[in-house]
Amino acid sequence: MSIIPLFFFLIVITNQSHGLIWSSAVLDEEGIYLDLDKTFGPLYWVFEVYAFAIIFLGVYLSIQMLVRSSNVYRYQASAILVASLIPAVGVLLSAFDLFSFTRFDIGPIAAGIVTWIVAWNVFRLRLVDTMRLAREAVLERMSHGVIVLYAENEVVYLNSVAERLIGRSAEEVIGSKIEKLWKAWPGGCELSDHHAEVTKEITIGAGDVEQTHELRMSPLLDWRSRLVGQVILTLDITERNQAERVLRKYADELKRSNQELERFAYIASHDLQEPLRTISSHTQLLARRYQGRLDEDADDFIFYVVDGVARMKQLIDDLLEYSRVGMRGKPFMQTDTAELLQRVLSALQVSIDESQVKIFYNELPTLMADATQLAQLFQNLIGNAIKFRSERPLEIQINTVREGDEWHFTFSDNGIGIEEKFFDRIFQIFQRLHNREKYPGTGIGLALCKRIVDRHGGRIWVESKIGIGSSFHFTLPEKGISSE
């Protein structure tokens, strides 16, 4: 920016030898002011065009800054615009003899006014300090390190956190290549044209003082969107990694514990089947042979034994089925849930006809799932609605809605409803809310539903009001994310 003004300055002071700025100059003593009447040369007009272009460019940029600036910078932008307009107005008045004192050059006065406006802008409106304070507040006080690299990975800025991380001050590293002054600098971080953010992890120190940092490298583009550097944000993720390791350890232990528990439940329930069948067959034989031949108490005792054995067998069968969800689950495959629902309704057709149930459903999706377990889920929810129906004609509404990458299923009925305080309890194994005489069963149906939904990577919950009905909601990922 100084080359052209310097060139014209040299031409002016050597004008006597070439006359390119003015060819002649005569002192005019008319009036109250002395004036130098000059005949301008060709380079003077070149300089005038250049000066006007610079001035009006400054005015244009100042207007742009005023329009685009936020409210906090409007005063500064307005002052800069005024400072840009004053010399333009002064030059125009002098060039076209529009000033009342035609022999008086107002250029120096305009320059003086501009100087005062700029000084007021800097010292009163804190134009320079605002940017410096903003940088200190945002960058220097950040808890993360900030490093700015120019072409060929040369450091042009780093904040105090980055200084401590590298172990050197900004004055020592500015202009140096980052890979030469920082041993922990990872490879493969050179600038590329794809303009994508890159994330790297580095390890600093060893043993008890070992730290892990994440480097997030974002491209730095010029006004032509050309890649000229990168901005690096360093995050200390040591504690996060330690927490993740502990969490993974507990998750592995929990998974192993659950697998062992499932195996125990399966083996225990399977091994109990044989002695239970022996007890069941002999108590039934005892009942057939001696029913009515002993006294009334003996008949009651035999009935209690038979009934208890039957209920124990049902509990063991249900426990075996519950444990099989995790141990004997089939691989996920593309499953047409509409076709699956038709099979379930066919299996429940007798109960549906006896209860005169009306079932409505909209279009059902196709997703990755264990078809056998999904059918069991549908059957349990529809069977529960039939079992816990009210005196009103039963209606079951099945709806599905896509929510992102998963499907939201809703099974609604107008049955007896559930109290809110039991919403969580009903999904626990062997939990019953009603007596066995009125509503038979072991209380494993909804626990089994939850286990199936959990295995598919979804979640299940209920909304209900006593006397109005219940709505069972569950979600299933479209791509079938297994929890195993």
Residue at a domain's end among 97, 131, 165? 131
Residue at a domain's end among 74, 104, 131? 131
pLDDT for the residue 100 = 53
Task: Tell me, yes or no, whether 340 and 388 share the same domain.
Answer: yes
Task: Tell me, yes or no, whether 8 and 123 share the same domain.
Answer: yes
pLDDT for the residue 475 = 93
Q: At what angle do helices 74-95 and 107-123 cross, to 10 degrees?
A: 180
Task: Tell me, yes or no, whether 291 and 256 share the same domain.
Answer: yes
> Is 93 inside any structural domain?
yes
Identify the domain containing residue 291 by its residue range. 243-327
Structure token digits, residue 291: 């029913």
Residue at a domain's end among 131, 160, 190? 131
pLDDT for the residue 200 = 80
- Give the tens place of pLDDT for each residue, 368-416: 998 888 998 998 899 888 888 888 899 999 999 999 889 999 999 998 8
Task: Tell me, yes or no, whether 290 and 167 share the same domain.
Answer: no
Task: Tell me, yes or no, whether 195 and 320 share the same domain.
Answer: no
Q: Judge whether 227 and 191 are in contact, CB under 8 Å.
A: yes
CB atoms within 10 A of CB 117: 17
pLDDT for the residue 409 = 95
- Largest Cα–Cα distance of the chain, in whole Å? 154
pLDDT, averaged per 10 consecutive residues of the chain (484 residues), comes to: 85 87 74 68 85 81 75 72 76 63 61 75 60 66 81 81 82 79 68 67 71 82 78 83 84 73 66 73 78 74 75 67 64 90 90 88 89 89 87 91 92 89 78 59 77 89 90 88 57
Task: Tell me, yes or no, whether 171 and 96 share the same domain.
Answer: no
Structure token digits, residue 471: 């709505």
